[in-house]
């Protein structure tokens, strides 16, 4: 109604002037769009770089898994190689002892050869991390010993290993085979 009459209040004039100056011009709008496009390009490049890094990391993880599987297979396949190399001379000495026995060697020479073979064998076991369980005179331990026979006696405390019937072996604190033993009991 005031416009028709041409009478404007100072507040209306101020609002009208503010609206005119607040209207966007083409230059600032293009600048905002350019900034937006630059930001989109920066973020897209960063995303693509991170995606590439992720793909490379996944490929590297797969390669590591593949190498580990190969190493495990090779270890299983060739792990006993060192032990076998140590057992070859033992087998050689055992063969020589058998040949000597077949050719009529005396019993003492044969016994000496067999003891040498046993000594070599125990050394090979020790080098591989296995050792014989010392049982005789020890208190009976069901983790290390298998009681095959009991013997009534008052000469030693009850449940003492009197003698070993078959050797037992441990491998790095793991029992390969318990020693088969004769154990004392009260009469």
pLDDT score at 25: 54
Residue 27 maps to a domain: no
Residue 5 lies in a domain: no
Look at residue 152 and tell me if it is in a domain.
Answer: yes
Q: Is the pLDDT of residue 176 over 50?
A: yes
DSSP secondary structure letter of residue 49: H
Spatial distance between the Cα atoms of 166 and 180, rounded to a whole number of angstroms: 5
Better-scored residue on pLDDT, 171 or 109: 171
Q: Is 144 helix (H, G, I), strand (E, B) or coil?
A: coil
In this prediction, residue 113 carries a pLDDT of: 84
Q: What CATH number does the domain containing 174 carry? A: 2.30.22.10
**pTM of the full structure:** 0.60
* Least confident residue range of 79-88, 134-143, 152-161, 174-183: 79-88
Note whether residue 151 is domain-resident.
yes
Query: What pLDDT was estimated at residue 111?
Result: 85
Residues 85-136 pLDDT 10s: 888 988 898 888 888 888 887 888 888 888 989 999 999 999 989 999 999 9
Residue owning tokens 């009529």: 104
Of the CA atoms within 13 Å of residue 107, those in its CB half-sphere come to 0
Higher local confidence (pLDDT), 82 or 27: 82
Report the number of distinct structural domains present in the chain: 1
Domain membership flag for residue 173: yes
- The backbone region for 137, taken as left when phi is positive above 0, alpha when psi lies in -120 to 50, beta otherwise, is left
Strands (E), the chain: 130-132, 145-152, 161-166, 169-171, 174-177, 179-185
Q: Which two tokens stand for residue 20?
A: 């005119």
Establish if 76 belongs to a structural domain.
Answer: no
Q: What is the pLDDT of residues 2-59, one digit of tens each?
A: 444 556 555 555 545 544 544 555 668 888 999 999 999 999 999 999 999 999 999 9
Residue 141 binned pLDDT confidence (cut-offs 50, 70, 90): very high
1 in a structural domain: no
Q: In the Cβ-directed half-sphere of 8, how many Cα atoms lie within 13 Å?
A: 10
Domain of 136, in residue numbers: 130-187
Residue 168 to residue 187: CA distance in whole angstroms: 27
């Amino acid at each position: 109604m005031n416009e028709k009459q041409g009478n404007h209040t100072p507040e209306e004039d101020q609002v009208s002037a503010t609206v005119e100056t607040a209207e966007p011009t083409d230059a600032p709008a293009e600048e905002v769009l350019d900034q937006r496009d630059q930001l989109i390009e920066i973020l897209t490049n960063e995303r693509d770089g991170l995606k590439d890094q992720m793909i490379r990391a996944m490929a590297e993880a797969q390669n590591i898994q593949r190498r580990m599987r190969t190493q495990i297979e090779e270890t299983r396949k060739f792990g006993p190689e060192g032990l076998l190399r140590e057992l070859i001379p033992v087998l050689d000495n055992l063969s020589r002892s058998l040949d000597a026995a077949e050719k009529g060697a005396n019993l003492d020479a044969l016994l000496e050869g067999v003891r040498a073979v046993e000594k070599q064998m125990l050394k090979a076991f020790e080098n591989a991390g296995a050792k014989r369980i010392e049982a005789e005179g020890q208190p009976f331990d069901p983790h290390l010993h298998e009681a095959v026979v009991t013997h009534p006696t008052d000469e030693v405390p009850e449940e003492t290993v009197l003698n070993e019937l078959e050797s037992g072996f441990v491998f790095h604190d793991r029992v390969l085979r318990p020693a088969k033993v004769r154990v004392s009991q009260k009469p």
